[in-house]
Amino acid sequence: MAWTRRPIDLQSAYTIVSRRACLTFAAVAALGLCVQAPAHAQTMTAPEGSIEITVGSGPGATPDVIMRRVAKILNEDKIVTNPIVVQNRTGGGWTVAANYVLGHPGNKNILFGVVPTVYATPIVQGLPNTYEKVTPLAMLARIDLLVVVRADSPYKTLADFVKAAKEKERALSMAGANVGSTDHIVNALIEKAGGVKLNYVPFDGGGGQVISSLLGGVVTAITLPPDEAMPLLQGGKARAIAVLSEQRLTEPSLKDIPTAREQGVDVIWGQYYGIAGPPQLDPSVVAWWQDKFTKMVATPAWAAMMKDMYLTSAYVPANEARPAMDKVYQGFASVLSDLGLAKK
């Protein structure tokens, strides 16, 4: 049984040909957006003092690492001279982090990492949308996902995993972040596409707890981005049995991993990362950040980060980010509703 309806075409990348080139991104293509230089100069106001990037994941999880790399590039390339720190405020599927940011309207010194959970948690919990309240500053990058098992697992492929799951309901398990997270969505998509029932084990904040649950034999499989999976794969502790992309990855160390689709499990999913400020952020501060992020994504350090973390640059500046975020949210709402996980 294959789930032929594509959940959300988040695997098509933004393609930036030049500063004035139109972008191709399936989630926003219908908008006809184009990344262009502003028609006229806008007043820019810089924050004073240190700047915090708030994240809802634990240390070492991909959202945390991405935002720390962003902070490092901005500071080390002297794009931003204010000290930038990343603060982990875990709990409630990013609601603790979100509530902190929402509680500081207009604050020039607080930023917020916008990740898939920010879109999904309000949908599965029946809460107001966080992303609509914050001030978008940029869409940044996309990352593909791997399904990973222990190195000594009897399941050599995702097809093997699904076949075994059909033999006994909920005998196999997957771990990930909170209910409604990308990990949970992938679990549900595999269930739908494979016609199986799995046992999902959530860990608030994801990260190290999820990996430990796999290595400790608590669960059968987990979903990881390549940057988190590579130390396990290279260390002989785990094996990737599928990539959830439309085509196989091109990196030499990952190119032999088959897609889920070519194994008869029709699942395509990925993660997108952005950044925002608190509500009511002054437009002159937004313009300042747009200038800084535009400079950041043009640096060799950004290109190196994309390679090191197996990311695809998906930059959309502040003045185009709101419609792009709307499209991503609509995709999540559609998928979560189809999967019976939406409360709104």
Per-residue pLDDT of the chain in tens (344 residues, 90 and over written 9): 333 334 334 333 332 222 222 222 333 333 333 344 443 457 999 999 999 999 999 898 889 999 999 999 999 999 999 999 999 999 888 999 999 999 999 999 999 999 988 999 899 989 899 999 999 999 999 999 999 999 999 999 999 999 999 999 999 999 998 887 889 999 999 999 999 999 999 987 677 899 999 999 999 999 999 999 999 999 999 999 999 999 999 899 999 999 999 999 999 998 889 999 999 999 999 999 999 999 999 999 999 999 999 998 999 999 999 999 998 898 899 889 988 889 86
Amino acid identity at 232? L
* Coil/strand/helix, residue 175: strand
| pLDDT for the residue 344 | 62
SS3 316: strand
Q: Give the model's pLDDT for residue 26.
A: 36
Q: Which residues pair with 313 in a beta bridge?
A: 141
Residue 112's contacts (CB-CB under 8 Å, 6 or more residues apart) are 53, 54, 97, 98, 101, 134, 275, 276, 277, 278
Q: In which element (H, E) is residue 337 found? A: helix 318-338
> Are residues 156 and 95 part of one domain?
no
Based on the domain organization, do 91 and 176 belong to the same domain?
A: no
Residue 10 lies in a domain: no
Q: Within 13 Å, how many C-alpha atoms sit on residue 266's CB side?
A: 12
pTM to 2 decimal places: 0.77
Is 69 among the domain residues? yes
Assess whether 134 and 35 both reside in one domain.
yes
Residue 154 sits in the same domain as residue 111:
no
Residue 167 within a domain? yes
The answer to whether residues 203 and 227 belong to one domain is yes
Place of tokens 């139109």: 22
Question: Residue 340's CB: how many other CB atoms inside 10 A?
Answer: 8
- Which domain does 152 fall in, by range? 146-263
Q: Name the domain boundary from 231, 263, 295.
A: 263
Helices within 195-267 (DSSP H only)? 208-215, 226-234
